[in-house]
Structure 1
Amino acid sequence: MDDINSSSSSSSDEEFQDFMMFLDKCIGAIDGTHISAHVPAEKQVSYRGRKSIVTQNVLCACNFNMMFTFVYAGWEGTTNDSRVFVDAITTSENKFPLPKEGEYYVVDSGFPCTMGFLPPFRGERYHLQEYHGRGRQPRGPKELFNYRHSSLRNVIERFFGVLKARFRILKMMPPYKQSRQPLIVIACCTLHNFIRKWAQNDVMFTQWEEEEQEIEDEEASTSGSNNSIDLSDEVATAMAAYRNQLSQVMWHDYVIQM
Protein backbone atom coordinates (compact mmCIF):
# COMPACT_ATOMS: atom_id res chain seq x y z
CA MET A 1 0.00 0.00 0.00
CA ASP A 2 1.15 3.58 -0.55
CA ASP A 3 2.37 5.60 2.42
CA ILE A 4 -0.31 7.67 4.12
CA ASN A 5 -0.24 11.41 3.67
CA SER A 6 -0.55 12.83 7.20
CA SER A 7 -1.76 16.25 6.06
CA SER A 8 -5.50 16.70 6.69
CA SER A 9 -7.79 18.06 4.01
CA SER A 10 -9.50 21.38 4.61
CA SER A 11 -13.29 21.30 4.40
CA SER A 12 -16.20 23.32 5.72
CA ASP A 13 -17.94 20.10 6.65
CA GLU A 14 -16.38 19.03 9.96
CA GLU A 15 -17.56 15.42 9.72
CA PHE A 16 -16.27 15.06 6.16
CA GLN A 17 -12.96 16.55 7.28
CA ASP A 18 -12.64 13.93 10.02
CA PHE A 19 -13.21 11.05 7.61
CA MET A 20 -11.48 12.46 4.52
CA MET A 21 -8.28 10.47 4.80
CA PHE A 22 -10.25 7.32 5.52
CA LEU A 23 -12.76 7.81 2.73
CA ASP A 24 -10.04 8.70 0.27
CA LYS A 25 -9.25 5.05 -0.49
CA CYS A 26 -12.29 3.31 0.99
CA ILE A 27 -14.71 2.36 -1.80
CA GLY A 28 -17.46 0.75 0.26
CA ALA A 29 -18.54 -1.63 2.99
CA ILE A 30 -19.20 -5.37 3.04
CA ASP A 31 -21.43 -7.30 5.42
CA GLY A 32 -23.88 -10.16 5.61
CA THR A 33 -27.54 -10.10 6.52
CA HIS A 34 -30.20 -12.74 7.09
CA ILE A 35 -33.19 -12.87 4.75
CA SER A 36 -36.24 -15.09 5.20
CA ALA A 37 -36.11 -18.43 3.42
CA HIS A 38 -38.63 -21.19 2.77
CA VAL A 39 -37.07 -24.66 2.63
CA PRO A 40 -38.27 -28.25 3.10
CA ALA A 41 -38.44 -29.53 6.67
CA GLU A 42 -35.47 -31.85 6.19
CA LYS A 43 -33.22 -28.88 5.29
CA GLN A 44 -34.37 -26.44 7.94
CA VAL A 45 -31.67 -27.27 10.51
CA SER A 46 -28.91 -25.79 8.33
CA TYR A 47 -31.04 -22.73 7.53
CA ARG A 48 -31.92 -21.85 11.13
CA GLY A 49 -29.74 -18.89 12.08
CA ARG A 50 -28.95 -17.35 15.43
CA LYS A 51 -32.57 -16.44 16.16
CA SER A 52 -33.81 -19.97 15.35
CA ILE A 53 -35.74 -18.82 12.30
CA VAL A 54 -35.24 -20.16 8.77
CA THR A 55 -33.07 -17.74 6.82
CA GLN A 56 -30.58 -17.47 4.01
CA ASN A 57 -27.29 -15.64 4.60
CA VAL A 58 -26.84 -12.87 2.03
CA LEU A 59 -23.51 -11.11 1.53
CA CYS A 60 -23.60 -7.58 0.10
CA ALA A 61 -21.15 -4.88 -0.86
CA CYS A 62 -22.22 -1.26 -1.13
CA ASN A 63 -20.85 2.17 -1.89
CA PHE A 64 -21.43 5.32 0.15
CA ASN A 65 -24.34 6.49 -1.98
CA MET A 66 -26.59 3.79 -0.50
CA MET A 67 -26.38 1.56 -3.57
CA PHE A 68 -25.52 -2.12 -3.69
CA THR A 69 -22.52 -3.07 -5.84
CA PHE A 70 -22.58 -6.82 -5.20
CA VAL A 71 -25.17 -9.29 -3.84
CA TYR A 72 -24.48 -12.96 -3.10
CA ALA A 73 -27.61 -14.77 -1.91
CA GLY A 74 -28.71 -18.29 -1.09
CA TRP A 75 -26.34 -19.53 1.61
CA GLU A 76 -27.74 -21.43 4.61
CA GLY A 77 -28.58 -19.29 7.61
CA THR A 78 -26.08 -21.12 9.82
CA THR A 79 -23.15 -20.21 7.54
CA ASN A 80 -20.93 -17.49 9.00
CA ASP A 81 -20.27 -14.34 7.00
CA SER A 82 -16.56 -14.98 6.60
CA ARG A 83 -17.09 -18.30 4.80
CA VAL A 84 -19.56 -16.69 2.37
CA PHE A 85 -17.15 -13.79 1.88
CA VAL A 86 -14.18 -15.98 0.99
CA ASP A 87 -16.26 -17.93 -1.52
CA ALA A 88 -17.65 -14.71 -3.01
CA ILE A 89 -14.26 -13.13 -3.68
CA THR A 90 -12.41 -16.27 -4.75
CA THR A 91 -14.88 -17.81 -7.21
CA SER A 92 -14.36 -16.08 -10.56
CA GLU A 93 -17.90 -16.84 -11.73
CA ASN A 94 -19.24 -14.53 -9.00
CA LYS A 95 -17.56 -11.51 -10.65
CA PHE A 96 -16.96 -9.80 -7.32
CA PRO A 97 -15.94 -6.12 -7.86
CA LEU A 98 -12.44 -6.38 -6.43
CA PRO A 99 -10.87 -3.12 -5.29
CA LYS A 100 -8.12 -1.59 -7.39
CA GLU A 101 -4.61 -1.37 -5.99
CA GLY A 102 -4.56 0.96 -2.98
CA GLU A 103 -8.34 0.81 -2.46
CA TYR A 104 -10.25 -1.22 0.11
CA TYR A 105 -13.60 -2.13 1.61
CA VAL A 106 -14.32 -1.95 5.33
CA VAL A 107 -15.33 -5.35 6.73
CA ASP A 108 -15.99 -6.72 10.20
CA SER A 109 -13.39 -8.49 12.32
CA GLY A 110 -14.65 -11.93 11.32
CA PHE A 111 -13.38 -11.34 7.78
CA PRO A 112 -9.73 -11.82 6.77
CA CYS A 113 -7.37 -8.86 6.97
CA THR A 114 -5.93 -8.99 3.49
CA MET A 115 -5.12 -6.61 0.68
CA GLY A 116 -8.24 -4.64 -0.25
CA PHE A 117 -10.26 -5.59 2.85
CA LEU A 118 -9.81 -3.70 6.10
CA PRO A 119 -11.29 -4.98 9.38
CA PRO A 120 -11.22 -3.13 12.74
CA PHE A 121 -8.86 -3.83 15.63
CA ARG A 122 -10.01 -6.72 17.78
CA GLY A 123 -10.23 -6.33 21.54
CA GLU A 124 -11.01 -2.59 21.35
CA ARG A 125 -14.31 -0.73 21.65
CA TYR A 126 -16.03 -0.79 18.28
CA HIS A 127 -19.79 -0.11 18.16
CA LEU A 128 -20.92 3.49 17.87
CA GLN A 129 -23.14 3.14 20.94
CA GLU A 130 -20.02 2.51 23.03
CA TYR A 131 -18.73 6.00 22.21
CA HIS A 132 -21.92 7.89 23.09
CA GLY A 133 -22.05 10.04 26.19
CA ARG A 134 -19.75 12.33 28.08
CA GLY A 135 -16.26 11.01 28.71
CA ARG A 136 -16.61 8.14 26.24
CA GLN A 137 -14.56 9.63 23.42
CA PRO A 138 -11.83 7.51 21.78
CA ARG A 139 -8.86 7.09 24.12
CA GLY A 140 -6.16 6.09 21.66
CA PRO A 141 -5.34 5.40 17.99
CA LYS A 142 -7.00 1.99 17.88
CA GLU A 143 -10.25 3.20 19.47
CA LEU A 144 -10.41 6.20 17.16
CA PHE A 145 -9.83 3.96 14.15
CA ASN A 146 -12.55 1.56 15.31
CA TYR A 147 -15.00 4.41 15.91
CA ARG A 148 -14.51 5.77 12.40
CA HIS A 149 -14.48 2.28 10.89
CA SER A 150 -17.82 1.57 12.62
CA SER A 151 -19.22 4.88 11.37
CA LEU A 152 -18.35 3.97 7.78
CA ARG A 153 -19.59 0.40 8.05
CA ASN A 154 -22.86 1.62 9.50
CA VAL A 155 -23.90 2.65 5.99
CA ILE A 156 -24.56 -0.93 4.95
CA GLU A 157 -26.81 -1.51 7.97
CA ARG A 158 -28.90 1.47 6.81
CA PHE A 159 -29.07 -0.19 3.38
CA PHE A 160 -30.41 -3.36 4.94
CA GLY A 161 -32.91 -1.33 6.98
CA VAL A 162 -34.32 0.39 3.89
CA LEU A 163 -34.33 -2.85 1.88
CA LYS A 164 -36.26 -4.90 4.45
CA ALA A 165 -38.67 -2.10 5.30
CA ARG A 166 -39.57 -1.60 1.62
CA PHE A 167 -39.72 -5.21 0.47
CA ARG A 168 -41.68 -7.15 3.08
CA ILE A 169 -41.24 -10.34 1.07
CA LEU A 170 -37.70 -10.47 2.47
CA LYS A 171 -39.11 -10.88 5.97
CA MET A 172 -41.56 -13.65 5.08
CA MET A 173 -40.51 -15.57 1.98
CA PRO A 174 -43.42 -17.33 0.19
CA PRO A 175 -43.03 -21.04 -0.67
CA TYR A 176 -41.29 -20.45 -4.00
CA LYS A 177 -38.79 -22.94 -5.37
CA GLN A 178 -35.57 -22.78 -3.40
CA SER A 179 -33.60 -21.93 -6.54
CA ARG A 180 -35.76 -18.82 -7.10
CA GLN A 181 -35.48 -17.36 -3.62
CA PRO A 182 -31.94 -15.94 -4.05
CA LEU A 183 -33.13 -14.33 -7.31
CA ILE A 184 -35.90 -12.54 -5.39
CA VAL A 185 -33.28 -11.05 -3.07
CA ILE A 186 -31.18 -9.90 -6.01
CA ALA A 187 -34.25 -8.41 -7.73
CA CYS A 188 -35.15 -6.44 -4.59
CA CYS A 189 -31.60 -5.08 -4.34
CA THR A 190 -31.74 -4.08 -8.01
CA LEU A 191 -35.02 -2.22 -7.44
CA HIS A 192 -33.45 -0.60 -4.38
CA ASN A 193 -30.66 0.78 -6.59
CA PHE A 194 -33.14 1.96 -9.24
CA ILE A 195 -35.19 3.86 -6.66
CA ARG A 196 -32.07 5.35 -5.11
CA LYS A 197 -30.84 6.57 -8.49
CA TRP A 198 -34.10 8.03 -9.78
CA ALA A 199 -35.99 9.06 -6.64
CA GLN A 200 -33.56 11.07 -4.58
CA ASN A 201 -36.37 12.39 -2.36
CA ASP A 202 -37.71 8.94 -1.54
CA VAL A 203 -39.21 8.98 1.97
CA MET A 204 -37.56 5.75 3.09
CA PHE A 205 -34.09 6.83 2.02
CA THR A 206 -34.59 10.16 3.75
CA GLN A 207 -35.68 8.37 6.92
CA TRP A 208 -32.79 5.89 6.99
CA GLU A 209 -29.98 7.94 5.46
CA GLU A 210 -28.77 9.47 8.72
CA GLU A 211 -30.16 6.92 11.14
CA GLU A 212 -27.53 5.11 13.16
CA GLN A 213 -27.96 1.34 13.13
CA GLU A 214 -26.65 -1.26 15.53
CA ILE A 215 -24.18 -3.50 13.74
CA GLU A 216 -22.91 -6.93 14.62
CA ASP A 217 -19.20 -7.70 14.49
CA GLU A 218 -18.83 -11.38 13.74
CA GLU A 219 -15.50 -12.54 15.12
CA ALA A 220 -15.09 -15.85 13.36
CA SER A 221 -12.16 -17.67 11.84
CA THR A 222 -11.96 -17.82 8.07
CA SER A 223 -10.86 -20.98 6.33
CA GLY A 224 -8.20 -20.72 3.67
CA SER A 225 -8.72 -21.29 -0.02
CA ASN A 226 -6.53 -21.88 -3.06
CA ASN A 227 -7.52 -19.02 -5.31
CA SER A 228 -6.50 -15.78 -6.95
CA ILE A 229 -7.02 -13.74 -3.76
CA ASP A 230 -3.92 -13.71 -1.59
CA LEU A 231 -4.89 -14.64 1.97
CA SER A 232 -1.31 -15.35 2.98
CA ASP A 233 0.27 -14.25 6.25
CA GLU A 234 2.54 -11.88 4.34
CA VAL A 235 -0.36 -9.99 2.78
CA ALA A 236 -2.28 -9.97 6.05
CA THR A 237 0.78 -8.50 7.80
CA ALA A 238 1.06 -5.77 5.15
CA MET A 239 -2.60 -4.80 5.49
CA ALA A 240 -2.36 -4.85 9.30
CA ALA A 241 0.68 -2.56 9.08
CA TYR A 242 -1.28 -0.20 6.85
CA ARG A 243 -4.11 -0.17 9.38
CA ASN A 244 -1.68 0.63 12.20
CA GLN A 245 -0.16 3.46 10.18
CA LEU A 246 -3.58 4.86 9.31
CA SER A 247 -4.69 4.75 12.96
CA GLN A 248 -1.61 6.69 14.03
CA VAL A 249 -2.22 9.38 11.40
CA MET A 250 -5.88 9.67 12.46
CA TRP A 251 -4.88 9.97 16.12
CA HIS A 252 -2.24 12.60 15.41
CA ASP A 253 -4.73 14.82 13.59
CA TYR A 254 -7.39 14.13 16.25
CA VAL A 255 -5.08 15.25 19.08
CA ILE A 256 -4.12 18.42 17.20
CA GLN A 257 -7.80 19.33 16.78
CA MET A 258 -8.66 18.77 20.44
Structure 2
Amino acid sequence: MKFIFMMPGWEGFASDSRVLHDALNKSTGSKVPTKIGYYYLVDAGYTNAEGFFTPYRETRYHLSEWRDECAPRNKKEFFNMKHLSIRNVIERCFGLLKMRWAILQSPFYPIKTQCHIITACFLLHNLIRREMFVDPIEHELVDLSNNEVEVDELEE
Protein backbone atom coordinates (compact mmCIF):
# COMPACT_ATOMS: atom_id res chain seq x y z
CA MET A 1 0.00 0.00 0.00
CA LYS A 2 2.82 2.37 -0.95
CA PHE A 3 3.19 4.46 -4.06
CA ILE A 4 6.17 3.72 -6.30
CA PHE A 5 5.65 6.39 -8.94
CA MET A 6 3.71 9.62 -9.25
CA MET A 7 3.54 12.34 -11.85
CA PRO A 8 1.47 15.33 -10.72
CA GLY A 9 0.62 18.16 -13.07
CA TRP A 10 -1.84 16.70 -15.54
CA GLU A 11 -5.34 18.10 -15.78
CA GLY A 12 -8.10 15.77 -14.56
CA PHE A 13 -9.60 15.45 -18.04
CA ALA A 14 -6.41 14.08 -19.66
CA SER A 15 -6.84 10.50 -20.87
CA ASP A 16 -5.14 7.72 -18.90
CA SER A 17 -3.34 6.52 -22.02
CA ARG A 18 -1.93 9.96 -22.75
CA VAL A 19 -0.61 10.37 -19.20
CA LEU A 20 0.94 6.88 -19.27
CA HIS A 21 2.54 7.55 -22.66
CA ASP A 22 4.10 10.72 -21.27
CA ALA A 23 5.32 8.91 -18.14
CA LEU A 24 6.94 6.15 -20.20
CA ASN A 25 8.59 8.49 -22.69
CA LYS A 26 9.61 11.35 -20.42
CA SER A 27 12.95 12.69 -21.60
CA THR A 28 13.57 14.71 -18.45
CA GLY A 29 12.85 13.91 -14.83
CA SER A 30 11.59 10.58 -13.57
CA LYS A 31 10.14 7.81 -15.70
CA VAL A 32 7.84 4.96 -14.72
CA PRO A 33 10.18 2.31 -13.31
CA THR A 34 10.11 -0.82 -15.43
CA LYS A 35 11.67 -4.14 -14.63
CA ILE A 36 11.55 -7.36 -16.65
CA GLY A 37 9.22 -9.87 -15.03
CA TYR A 38 7.22 -7.22 -13.13
CA TYR A 39 3.89 -5.81 -14.19
CA TYR A 40 1.65 -2.85 -13.46
CA LEU A 41 -2.03 -3.46 -12.96
CA VAL A 42 -4.01 -0.86 -14.90
CA ASP A 43 -7.70 -0.31 -15.53
CA ALA A 44 -9.55 -0.55 -18.83
CA GLY A 45 -8.71 3.09 -19.62
CA TYR A 46 -5.27 1.91 -20.70
CA THR A 47 -4.23 -0.29 -23.58
CA ASN A 48 -2.47 -3.60 -23.00
CA ALA A 49 1.26 -3.09 -23.34
CA GLU A 50 4.42 -4.86 -22.25
CA GLY A 51 4.62 -4.70 -18.46
CA PHE A 52 0.97 -3.62 -18.03
CA PHE A 53 -2.07 -5.80 -17.35
CA THR A 54 -5.54 -4.55 -18.22
CA PRO A 55 -8.72 -6.54 -17.60
CA TYR A 56 -10.33 -8.41 -20.47
CA ARG A 57 -12.86 -6.25 -22.24
CA GLU A 58 -16.44 -7.40 -22.70
CA THR A 59 -15.96 -9.88 -19.85
CA ARG A 60 -17.51 -9.66 -16.37
CA TYR A 61 -15.44 -7.34 -14.19
CA HIS A 62 -17.39 -5.20 -11.73
CA LEU A 63 -17.86 -6.16 -8.08
CA SER A 64 -21.63 -6.29 -8.44
CA GLU A 65 -21.23 -9.03 -11.07
CA TRP A 66 -19.33 -11.28 -8.62
CA ARG A 67 -21.82 -11.11 -5.74
CA ASP A 68 -24.05 -14.00 -4.71
CA GLU A 69 -21.17 -16.47 -5.10
CA CYS A 70 -21.34 -16.30 -8.88
CA ALA A 71 -18.15 -18.19 -9.79
CA PRO A 72 -16.07 -17.36 -12.87
CA ARG A 73 -17.12 -19.37 -15.91
CA ASN A 74 -13.81 -19.26 -17.80
CA LYS A 75 -10.15 -18.14 -17.60
CA LYS A 76 -10.91 -14.57 -18.67
CA GLU A 77 -13.52 -14.11 -15.97
CA PHE A 78 -11.17 -15.64 -13.38
CA PHE A 79 -8.41 -13.24 -14.45
CA ASN A 80 -10.80 -10.28 -14.26
CA MET A 81 -11.99 -11.35 -10.79
CA LYS A 82 -8.40 -11.49 -9.50
CA HIS A 83 -7.54 -8.23 -11.29
CA LEU A 84 -10.48 -6.54 -9.56
CA SER A 85 -9.50 -7.82 -6.11
CA ILE A 86 -6.00 -6.38 -6.53
CA ARG A 87 -7.35 -3.10 -7.94
CA ASN A 88 -9.45 -2.78 -4.78
CA VAL A 89 -6.18 -2.56 -2.80
CA ILE A 90 -5.04 0.25 -5.11
CA GLU A 91 -8.33 2.11 -4.65
CA ARG A 92 -8.08 1.63 -0.86
CA CYS A 93 -4.60 3.15 -0.95
CA PHE A 94 -5.88 6.24 -2.77
CA GLY A 95 -8.80 6.43 -0.33
CA LEU A 96 -6.39 6.45 2.65
CA LEU A 97 -4.28 9.12 0.99
CA LYS A 98 -7.32 11.37 0.46
CA MET A 99 -8.64 10.77 3.99
CA ARG A 100 -5.26 11.52 5.54
CA TRP A 101 -4.62 14.70 3.56
CA ALA A 102 -7.80 16.74 3.18
CA ILE A 103 -5.77 19.40 1.35
CA LEU A 104 -5.86 17.10 -1.70
CA GLN A 105 -9.59 17.87 -1.96
CA SER A 106 -9.06 21.61 -2.53
CA PRO A 107 -7.92 22.80 -5.96
CA PHE A 108 -7.54 26.44 -4.82
CA TYR A 109 -3.78 26.69 -5.31
CA PRO A 110 -1.70 27.46 -8.40
CA ILE A 111 -0.79 24.30 -10.36
CA LYS A 112 2.87 24.42 -9.30
CA THR A 113 1.87 24.60 -5.63
CA GLN A 114 -0.63 21.77 -6.13
CA CYS A 115 2.15 19.59 -7.55
CA HIS A 116 4.32 20.27 -4.49
CA ILE A 117 1.41 19.51 -2.14
CA ILE A 118 0.63 16.24 -3.93
CA THR A 119 4.27 15.17 -3.86
CA ALA A 120 4.58 15.95 -0.15
CA CYS A 121 1.38 14.04 0.67
CA PHE A 122 2.52 10.96 -1.28
CA LEU A 123 5.95 10.99 0.38
CA LEU A 124 4.48 11.40 3.87
CA HIS A 125 1.96 8.62 3.17
CA ASN A 126 4.79 6.27 2.18
CA LEU A 127 6.82 7.28 5.25
CA ILE A 128 3.88 6.51 7.53
CA ARG A 129 3.33 3.15 5.82
CA ARG A 130 7.03 2.29 6.16
CA GLU A 131 7.69 3.51 9.71
CA MET A 132 4.48 2.85 11.62
CA PHE A 133 3.55 -0.67 12.62
CA VAL A 134 -0.15 0.23 12.40
CA ASP A 135 -1.46 2.93 10.09
CA PRO A 136 -3.71 5.03 12.36
CA ILE A 137 -6.16 5.99 9.59
CA GLU A 138 -6.53 2.41 8.36
CA HIS A 139 -6.84 1.13 11.94
CA GLU A 140 -9.61 3.66 12.62
CA LEU A 141 -11.47 2.51 9.50
CA VAL A 142 -11.23 -1.14 10.54
CA ASP A 143 -12.60 -0.25 14.00
CA LEU A 144 -15.47 1.68 12.44
CA SER A 145 -16.36 -1.14 10.06
CA ASN A 146 -16.25 -3.70 12.91
CA ASN A 147 -18.60 -1.54 15.00
CA GLU A 148 -21.00 -1.20 12.07
CA VAL A 149 -21.09 -4.99 11.69
CA GLU A 150 -21.87 -5.41 15.38
CA VAL A 151 -24.69 -2.85 15.20
CA ASP A 152 -26.14 -4.57 12.11
CA GLU A 153 -26.05 -7.91 13.88
CA LEU A 154 -27.92 -6.44 16.86
CA GLU A 155 -30.64 -5.00 14.64
CA GLU A 156 -31.31 -8.36 13.00
Which bin holds the TM-score, normalised by the shorter protein?
Answer: 0.7 to 0.9
Query: Partners of 2:85 and 2:129 in 1: how far apart?
Result: 21
User: Structure 2 unaligned runs (5+)?
Assistant: 146-156
- Equivalence for 1:120: 55
- Give distance in 1, aligned partners of 2:67 and 2:47: 28
For 1:153, the equivalent position in structure 2 comes to 87
8 Å CA contact 1:88, 1:94 repeated in 2: no
1:142 and 1:189 mapped to 2: Cα distance? 34
Alignment of 1:73-84 (within 5 A): 73-84=8-19
Aligned partners of 1:92 and 1:138: how far apart in 2?
Answer: 43
Name the structure 2 match of 1:41: none
CA separation in 2, counterparts of 1:105 and 1:178? Answer: 27
Distance 1:88 1:172 in 2: 25
Runs of 4+ displaced beyond 4 Å:
none
What whole-Å deviation, never above 9, does each CA across 1:162-191 have from its counterpart, x for those lacking one? 011111111123x33321111111110101
Q: Deviations over 1:176-222 (max 9, x none)?
A: 332111111111010100111111212212337xx9xxxxxxxxxxx
Q: TM-score, normalised by structure 2?
A: 0.83
In the TM superposition, what whole-angstrom CA distance separates every residue of 1:10-55 from its partner, at most 9, and x where no partner exists?
xxxxxxxxxxxxxxxxxxxxxxxxxxxxxxxxxxxxxxxxxxxxxx
Distance 1:94-1:201 versus aligned 2 partners, 3 A rule: same
Aligned residue number for residue 183 of structure 1: 116
Pair 1:163 & 2:97 matched:
yes
Whether contact under 8 Å (1:107, 1:118) holds in the other structure is: yes
- Residues 97, 88 of structure 1: alpha-carbon distance in 2 compared, 3 angstrom cutoff: closer
* CA root-mean-square deviation: 1.7
Q: Aligned residue for 2:21?
A: 86
Q: Which residue of 1 aligns with 2:43?
A: 108
What displacement does 1:93 show? 2.2
Cα distance in 2 between the residues matched to 1:165 and 1:94: 29
Larger strand proportion of the pair: 1
User: Cα deviation per residue 1:61-102 (whole Å; 9 max; x = unaligned)?
Assistant: xxxxx1011111111121121211111111132422432212
Aligned partner (choices 133, 136, 142) of residue 200 of structure 1:
133
Q: For residues 189 and 75 of structure 1, what CA distance do their matches in structure 2 show?
A: 16
Q: Which amino acid aligns with 1:99?
A: T
More helix by share: 2
Give aligned pairs, total: 142
**What pairs up with 1:204-219 in 2 under 5 angstroms?**
204-206=137-139, 207=141
